[in-house]
Structures are given as C-alpha cells and as structure tokens.
Amino acid sequence: MFYDAKSIANYFLELAAESGQRIDPIKIQKLVYYANGWYAGHTGGPLIDEPVEAWTHGPVIASLFHEFARFGVKPIQRMAMRVISHTLVAVEPPEDPTLRAFLRNIWDEYGTLSEAKLHGLTHHPNSPW
C-alpha cells in the first residue's frame, strides 16, 4: 500500500510538535526520503505514492517541495493541505498503528539530527543517493 507523501510529512510534523521541535522544508524532505528508503528495505516496495526525484541538492519529493517552499529555510508553520470540495483541509497522517510505530522509529533515529547532518548523510559516498 502506498501513502500520500503529505500524510507521512504531517505525521513527522506531529511528532516534532510533540517533542517541541521545529522542522524546515529541507528536513521534512529528508525525513520522508529516509522513511521511504527504510520502508522499501523492509517491505520491498515504496512507502509513498510518488517518485523521489534527483534534484541538484539531493532527493526531493515534488509535492512536499511545492507545499512547503513558501517557508524557505524557516520552520514549517502548518500541516500539508489538500483541497476537498473547494475547501482547504489538512492531510490526515496515517492511522495504521504499525506504520505509525515504524515512522516513530525513523523519527527517533533521524528527528533530532540537524538539516545539515541529514543533508550530509544523503550525500555520503556510500549512501543510496
């Protein structure tokens, strides 16, 4: 089963809020990228329903880039949204408890790392990127 990248991002934003942290657009990209990679490693298939694209400065999920670009390098101030019946609503984070536990493990591993550290990990010579 594939998940909306915005749904996964919103769960990470919830976890950040619970722990008193702020996430900027670069960090949310890296967290969803790592979640997608670890999930593929465990299940044999991707987590999210769109490709991870190769951009100049690393892996990018286009829908998240467009959703959060307005924040620049500043912390994201709201959840990812979508339009339903002409109304803007927050995308619901996944409800599956097994997936939530998996994503919490990703958060526990990568959530406290700085954007610079996460960027460095994606550009490490032995990384999948």
Given a cut of 80, is residue 127 above it in pLDDT?
Answer: no
**Which residues, at least 6 apart from 2, have a Cβ–Cβ distance to it below 8 Å?**
45, 46, 47, 48, 49
pLDDT tens by residue, 97-118: 999 999 999 999 999 998 888 8
Q: Strand 81-84 vs strand 87-90: parallel, antiparallel, or unpaired?
A: antiparallel
Per-residue pLDDT, 76: 98
Given a cut of 90, is residue 124 above it in pLDDT?
Answer: no
pLDDT tens by residue, 46-104: 999 999 998 887 899 999 999 999 999 999 999 999 999 999 999 999 999 999 999 99
Task: Name the one residue in this structure whose structure tokens are 């109304």.
Answer: 87
Tell me the pTM.
0.93
Terminal alpha carbon distance of the chain? 24
